[in-house]
Structure 1
């Protein structure tokens, strides 16, 4: 990722000069004299030392970080779309082979997000060093020296090492599992093959061994307008959690998260609508209704057979 920062305080850092016709004047009339106009070209650009006193350095680095964070947000939106695609395939046919390809897309998105997060971390380190008085003679080279080893180390890991503690992958597998199973989802180790360099880690992770709960902890029924707390990550029905916060405010007491064992104190600014979760809750309700209808049809068939035998 190339990074170029220039200092307005150092015009000698490589500006090019191009000739343009001079304006006509009595002194120069009839001559082809030219005047020079300053500018920058890729060929004449030169890296210059960057320090805390270079006024544009830190703001430009911050701008780059913000752009990378925007890309991460889009990747996370893509993760939800990939997960919904996998759920639809699993709903159409249990263990649909095409899910493997979708899962690989999910892995690639997780990798891209992790690499971008590393880049942001490197930029943050550079900013902190600049503030501490460090000077970079070639900031692009310094950036690569910091980022490339981290990226290489990550990409060299096995899938198990990369995704064993990933909440997103655990949610991905749990969402697929619950389509055709009523039991808790097994640990993600079931789907992540151990690499040759992985140490024995079966005892220190067991991610994914739960079933998603789509019931609001306040109303105890399925989510309506699913809403998530940015503070603790718990989910509720939108109106129910907002009413709880309002009621606590009127009573001049803290609005504690209603999930058992959670001590987070919530404000409305901590709450964010979660349409993806609501969609999954609706799909869960639809599957439960379908299973119930199938059970009822089975009971009717048995009842008819019993009547025929009695007859």
Structure 2
């Protein structure tokens, strides 16, 4: 009888799993858009408060994602128990599993929750890219330490990477950039297509022109990069602002 009762939960479990997976996909879509929103706000000093609010929203979304993943994991366990006939008191087992997973997450510090999360690292790195030069340091250097973080001090935490906005072929800022799916290197569209046409006469296998890259490149592997194009435009504005500030400082010095 117990097995029959537990088996009756199977359709409901499948339905909830589908709902949780749809919710997780929606969260991932929102998280994927947040770096661009953060970069746009970071361009304007007057948006500091909204940028801080966006950071809190990102963390809250990561927390919600974890809660949803905890329920998904508990449902998968229940589904396996029902299938093997080992399940007893399915609702109670499910709630206990969810509670254990959630409690374990809540016991973590902010560094442990967010510093190694790839979506959060990308979000913070894109903001750093606008506000600073060079690669972003590890988030463990930017998130205040809490009791319990000492155990992670010896772990390697990677910071942000520096996006190259110059074309390897022209050494100029990217224009209408395209990216190779083979290696991830970006090129100005006109430059890379000219390079391919010229080299194809010599060999069928055209090496990637980025220094040290062992991959090959072809028209088939090149894809539009509208997000990168926006980042290049933002970087150009950043350079223009810095140049204007440098000139203002120079004029002020001369006037003194």
TM-score, normalising length: structure 1: 0.58
Q: Given the alignment of the two structures, is residue 70 of structure 1 paired with residue 22 of structure 2, yes or no?
A: yes
Contact 1:89 1:99 in 2 (8 A): yes
Equivalent in 106, 131, 134 of residue 180 of structure 1: 131
Distance in 2 between residues matched to 1:121 and 1:80, nearest whole Å: 23
Task: Specify the alignment match of 2:79 in structure 1.
Answer: 127
Contact 1:49 1:135 in 2 (8 A): no
Displacement of 1:113: 1.4
Contact 1:72 1:116 in 2 (8 A): yes
Distance verdict in 2 for CA 1:198–1:178, change over 3 Å = same
Q: In the TM superposition, what whole-angstrom CA distance separates every residue of 1:165-217 from its partner, at most 9, and x where no partner exists? A: 11222222222222132222222112212221233423313332532334577
Q: Structure 2: any 5+ residue segments left out of the alignment?
A: none
Distance in 1 between residues matched to 2:185 and 2:78, nearest whole Å: 37
Distance in 1 between residues matched to 2:212 and 2:37, nearest whole Å: 33
Equivalent in 49, 57, 75 of residue 6 of structure 2: 49
Matches within 5 A, 1:197-216: 197-214=148-165
Q: Given the alignment of the two structures, is residue 105 of structure 1 paired with residue 57 of structure 2, yes or no?
A: yes
Structure number with larger C-alpha Rg = 1
Q: Structure 1: any 5+ residue segments left out of the alignment?
A: 1-9, 11-46
Displacement of 1:97: 4.5
Q: Which has the higher helix share?
A: 2
Contact 1:174 1:212 in 2 (8 A): no
Contact 1:82 1:105 in 2 (8 A): no
Distance verdict in 2 for CA 1:223–1:67, change over 3 Å = farther
Q: Given the alignment of the two structures, is residue 87 of structure 1 paired with residue 39 of structure 2, yes or no?
A: yes
Contact 1:86 1:176 in 2 (8 A): yes
Q: Secondary structure of the residue that 1:203 maps to in structure 2?
A: coil
> How many residues in Structure 1 have an aligned counterpart in Structure 2?
244
Q: Secondary structure of the residue that 1:48 maps to in structure 2?
A: helix
Greater relative CO, 1 or 2 (CA 8 Å, sep 6+)? 2
Equivalent in 81, 85, 97 of residue 146 of structure 1: 97
Matches within 5 A, 1:1-311: 48-50=5-7, 57=10, 61-93=13-45, 96-131=48-83, 133-214=84-165, 222=174, 224=176, 234=184, 236=186, 276-292=227-243, 295=246, 297=247, 301=251
Contact 2:167 2:187 in 1 (8 A): yes
Distance verdict in 2 for CA 1:260–1:90, change over 3 Å = same
TM-score, normalising length: structure 2: 0.68
Cα-Cα RMSD:
4.7
Distance in 1 between residues matched to 2:222 and 2:95, nearest whole Å: 38
Distance verdict in 2 for CA 1:66–1:183, change over 3 Å = same
